[in-house]
Structure 1
Amino acid sequence: MNVEPFEFLGEHVAPGKRSRFELPIGQLYTQSEVSIPIEVLHGKHPGPTLLICAAIHGDELNGIEIIRRVLGASWLRNLRGTLIAVPIVNVLGCIHRSRYLPDRRDLNRCFPGSEKGSLAARIAHQFTTLVLSHADYAIDLHTGALDRSNLPQIRVHLDNERAAWMARAFGVPVIIDAEIRDGSFRGTGDDLGVPIITYEAGEALRFDETSIAAGVRGIRRIMEDLEMIVRRKQGRPEIQHVLARSTSWVRSPSDGFLRAIKPLGSRVAKGELLAMINGPLETTGQPIEAPFSGIIIGRSNLPLAHEGEAIFHIARFEKVALAEKAVDNFQLRLEEQVASNDEAIT
């Protein structure tokens, strides 16, 4: 079957070719142009169009490296369909090492945007109409916020059956049934009929090798299942996943210095000690305990806390022991692959 050239931003990408684009989004104060870098790979054979994008929050850097590694992977040869890769959506935020745009808006609360709205709304509108509209599926790559780390996890609206399938195919142990928020990229995907999953792993302004490796592997798994690339001859291990129907943050009961006891990914029981918080002259301190049983999927990395500040993010599971086993097996296997420099994740 003959494949037509892929039309994108007023140009054509021939079958079997890859092209780079710059999507203009505005100017700096110096009137220097600012644009979103995009690479399009168009296969010689028909298939779906997959969008992978990162840094909608400008300081969330893991996804940038994930996309760079995917674009250099040998397994992209003989691609079927089309891959649209956008490593930095919020270019202005990335330049300033900030989650937000210069107008202090969160881009992930401004979709689908508007042509004549705020700076954030205009960028969201451009990205929705000129990029997302081409996709059949999308993967949105994120990290935890500044000074907070997330365990590798997928956030998805499970009522969307195609998105739920993607969440399972990605292959991380924790899947969170996350409601759609107003103005979110995922919500706009739902409205357009484009299933979107959000991969969360690591911390803002940091590269985390395990999180990056899991992201590369997850994208490869989805592309295999979409039949966009050839499956590995040696097969691939099945990743056990568990579904969290709800999550809650444990907040600091007072101001002080935090001494965390439980690391990311730990199984905790209700009432178990998570951390101690104390003043600079206190010899004991105040305990912070788990309000319910679950797995720690996010935590603060700062040894400082104000009263009410979010410290530990805990996910509830029907079978916590099963969730613990899934997380432990996933981390062990991934660490082994990272240590061996497995081509599957580089």
Structure 2
Amino acid sequence: MKRASVEIAGQVVAPGEHKTIVLPVPDTSLRQGSGMPVHVWHGRREGPSLFITAAIHGDELNGIETVRRLINLKRLKSMAGTLYAVPVVNIYGFTSNSRYLPDRRDLNRFFPGKTGGSLASELANVLFENVVERCQYGIDLHTGSNHRKNLPHLRGNMDDEVVRNMAEAFGAPLALTLSGTEGTLRYTAEEQGVKILLFEAGESLRFDEFSIRAGVRGITSVMEHLGMLTPRKKTKRKRIPMQVAHDRTWCRANASGLFKAKVKLGQRVDKGEPLGAILDPYGSHSAIVESPKNGVVIGVQSLPTVYKGDAVMHIACFEALAKAEASVDRFSEIIMDEEFIS
């Protein structure tokens, strides 16, 4: 029996077709019309439905390039199931290089949204009703915020066997088991029964080639795991053991000034070890920031100027610290050495 077509926003996508459908969203203040483009790949063969979302925060650019490279892969022409790829969710924040919407709301606190509400509610509702509710699986792409750079890692409910298997297929070295915050896409999708991963990598307003490669590699690996793509025979991917953190903590500035980091992303640190110093811009005085726990650095402040209480480093804690550090090192080697197909 021939596979049924899918209809989205009044447009029909037949089996074997790829269409870019622009979902109508509220106009900008110039009343020139706005839309949220969604790439829909509808395979000839039956299979699961997967969504990929990027730029829910408008300044998170790595995910946009990751989706661009993904939808240009020739492999998708023979895929099974249906892929919904949204390169820019927060189109308003993207055009102004802002994390937020024009009214300063964080879109990732308004899912599932509703019609007749705020701009955030309207936009969240468009994505949720037209894309998320159609899918059994999802991958949401993010970067660090507020001048912080994140080591590539996954977040999700790693106690869920299906999610854990997706994460292991993705291939990132580290993962955090975190309860989603109410109103976020991940929390709301999970409430609907969607199995979802969140991929954090890089920093806002910057392209990071390492993070982008890791994202494309991870998404296609998950699609292979779900049976949407046929695994490549000639380029079998190397796997590393994923380490799941049992705890995490933010290291905060104990004084205001200029922060100079001593350790790097992915580095193992011990409790009490100096992570960096906060320098007095007018003199020689400095305050040392020490690690409160044993762990691996997964996030670091990239802007030197800090105020007392600012989060300057994010530490993830693991039962086997040496294995976690080794997984990060091996992952770095694999991503940059592996042939990349754009």
**TM score, norm. by length of structure 1:** 0.96
More off after superposition, 132-141 vs 156-165 = 156-165
Q: Where does residue 299 of structure 1 map in the other structure? A: 300
CA distance in 2, matches of 1:280, 1:104: 32
Check if 1:145 corresponds to 2:112: no
State the one-letter code of the partner of 1:89.
V
Q: Where does residue 105 of structure 1 map in the other structure? A: 105
Q: Where does residue 186 of structure 2 map in the other structure? A: 186
State the one-letter code of the partner of 1:13.
V
Check if 1:210 corresponds to 2:210: yes
**Equivalent pair of 1:49/1:83 in contact (CA under 8 Å):** yes
Task: Report the number of matched residues.
Answer: 341
State the one-letter code of the partner of 1:118.
S
Q: Where does residue 17 of structure 2 map in the other structure? A: 17
Name stretches of at least 5 consecutive residues in structure 2 with no aligned partner.
none
Following TM superposition, by how much is the alpha carbon of 1:162 offset from its aligned partner in structure 2, in angstroms? 2.3
Following TM superposition, by how much is the alpha carbon of 1:284 offset from its aligned partner in structure 2, in angstroms? 4.9
Q: Where does residue 30 of structure 2 map in the other structure? A: 30
Matched position secondary structure for 1:215:
helix
**Equivalent pair of 1:146/1:205 in contact (CA under 8 Å):** no
Q: Percent same amino acid among aligned pairs?
A: 43
**Equivalent pair of 1:52/1:138 in contact (CA under 8 Å):** yes
**Equivalent pair of 1:23/1:37 in contact (CA under 8 Å):** yes
**Equivalent pair of 1:135/1:194 in contact (CA under 8 Å):** yes
CA distance in 1, matches of 2:294, 2:29: 51
State the one-letter code of the partner of 1:248.
T
CA distance in 2, matches of 1:16, 1:215: 25
Following TM superposition, by how much is the alpha carbon of 1:48 offset from its aligned partner in structure 2, in angstroms? 0.8
Following TM superposition, by how much is the alpha carbon of 1:186 offset from its aligned partner in structure 2, in angstroms? 0.8
State the one-letter code of the partner of 2:340.
D
**Equivalent pair of 2:251/2:312 in contact (CA under 8 Å):** yes
CA distance in 2, matches of 1:313, 1:174: 13
C-alpha offsets along residues 11-56 of structure 1, whole Å, 9 cap, x if unaligned? 2111111111111111111111111011101111111111111000
Matched position secondary structure for 1:103:
coil
Following TM superposition, by how much is the alpha carbon of 1:282 offset from its aligned partner in structure 2, in angstroms? 2.8
**Equivalent pair of 2:51/2:132 in contact (CA under 8 Å):** yes
**Equivalent pair of 1:47/1:228 in contact (CA under 8 Å):** yes
CA distance in 2, matches of 1:284, 1:11: 64
Matches within 5 A, 1:315-330: 315-330=316-331
Q: Where does residue 272 of structure 1 map in the other structure? A: 273
More off after superposition, 59-68 vs 269-278 = 269-278
Q: Where does residue 117 of structure 1 map in the other structure? A: 117
Following TM superposition, by how much is the alpha carbon of 1:164 offset from its aligned partner in structure 2, in angstroms? 2.4
C-alpha offsets along residues 139-167 of structure 1, whole Å, 9 cap, x if unaligned? 00000003110000000023433222222
Matched position secondary structure for 1:27:
coil
State the one-letter code of the partner of 1:217.
R
CA distance in 2, matches of 1:326, 1:17: 39
**Equivalent pair of 2:299/2:315 in contact (CA under 8 Å):** yes
CA distance in 2, matches of 1:94, 1:220: 25
Following TM superposition, by how much is the alpha carbon of 1:70 offset from its aligned partner in structure 2, in angstroms? 0.5
**Equivalent pair of 1:275/1:289 in contact (CA under 8 Å):** yes
CA distance in 2, matches of 1:239, 1:32: 49
Matches within 5 A, 1:69-88: 69-88=69-88
More off after superposition, 110-119 vs 173-182 = 110-119
C-alpha offsets along residues 61-97 of structure 1, whole Å, 9 cap, x if unaligned? 1000000000111222311111111000000010111
CA distance in 2, matches of 1:41, 1:226: 15
Following TM superposition, by how much is the alpha carbon of 1:224 offset from its aligned partner in structure 2, in angstroms? 0.5
State the one-letter code of the partner of 1:205.
L
Q: Where does residue 135 of structure 2 map in the other structure? A: 135
Matched position secondary structure for 2:323:
helix
Q: Where does residue 176 of structure 1 map in the other structure? A: 176
